[in-house]
Amino acid sequence: MRPEQSALIPARRRRAAVLVAGVCVLVTAFLGVWYADRDDPGRLDRAVLGRLVEWFPGHLGVLDVLAAFGSAGPALATTAVVAGVGYLDRRWTSVLLPAIAAPAAVSVTELLKPVIGRTINAYWALPSGHTTAIVSLLVAALLVARRNRRRARFVGMLVVVLLAFGLVGMVLGLVRLGLHYATDIVAGGCVGTAAVLLVARGLDALDRPEPGASSLR
């Protein structure tokens, strides 16, 4: 496998990845400053919640289940699945990416919450930890599935699709049930995305495979 193919982030896309990570950091910082020490919804939050109330006026049991997708147990299980997809690639960086990036992203979120001080129902809200966890795993799965061998790529993309559907359902549940504001979701997604891209870039820098030595043993 050529170095360009073996990298989590190909060389031609590294600048774009750094730019995306930088934008995510700026968006998170802006939202953190704007909503610092507040417990009220912003204009976007009210608009999104109003629309969701129209779409889901009652019978919220399914959304309640979906909202729990990003909690500790499901997130750990999903991390194991994405790491398993990475193992199919037979490269150690593909296994380590979800194992390192997802916990790192969630840790950053948990550190930011009390610093920002935004609350909903007396709980720290921004960034959304559930969203951070699942978005980080989704981005990690995308990077890993992209470089998987052909036979394993289908499995990787299937995991990506399932994660995307799970993320959408979880976000709808979190906002409709009043567990998070829409802007909390945006900030959580930004933290998760930035963390994965930066960790992937770091792993690529450490991974200097010798020709013919790309297998994970």
136-184 pLDDT, tens digit each: 999 999 999 887 666 678 888 899 999 999 999 999 999 999 999 999 9
Q: Does an H or E element contain 41, and which?
A: none
To the nearest whole percent, how much of the chain has pLDDT over 70? 91
Look at 20-29, 88-97, 122-131, 150-159 and tell me which has the smallest mean pLDDT.
Answer: 150-159
**Has residue 193 got a pLDDT over 90?**
yes
- Rounded to an integer, the average pLDDT of 50-67 is 91
- pLDDT reported for residue 90: 79
Per-residue pLDDT at 2 exceeds 50: no
Residue 58 has pLDDT above 90, yes or no: no
Indicate whether 214 pLDDT > 80: no
Contact 105, 196 (CB under 8 A): yes
Measured distance CA(89)–CA(216) in Å, rounded:
8
Tokens of residue 169, six digits: 């359902």
pLDDT, tens digit, 9 for 90 and up, residues 66-116: 999 999 999 999 999 999 988 887 788 989 999 999 999 999 999 999 999
Q: How far apart are CA 121 and CA 177, in angstroms?
A: 11
pTM score of the predicted model: 0.91
Residue 13 burial (10 A CB sphere; 0-12, 13-18, 19+): exposed
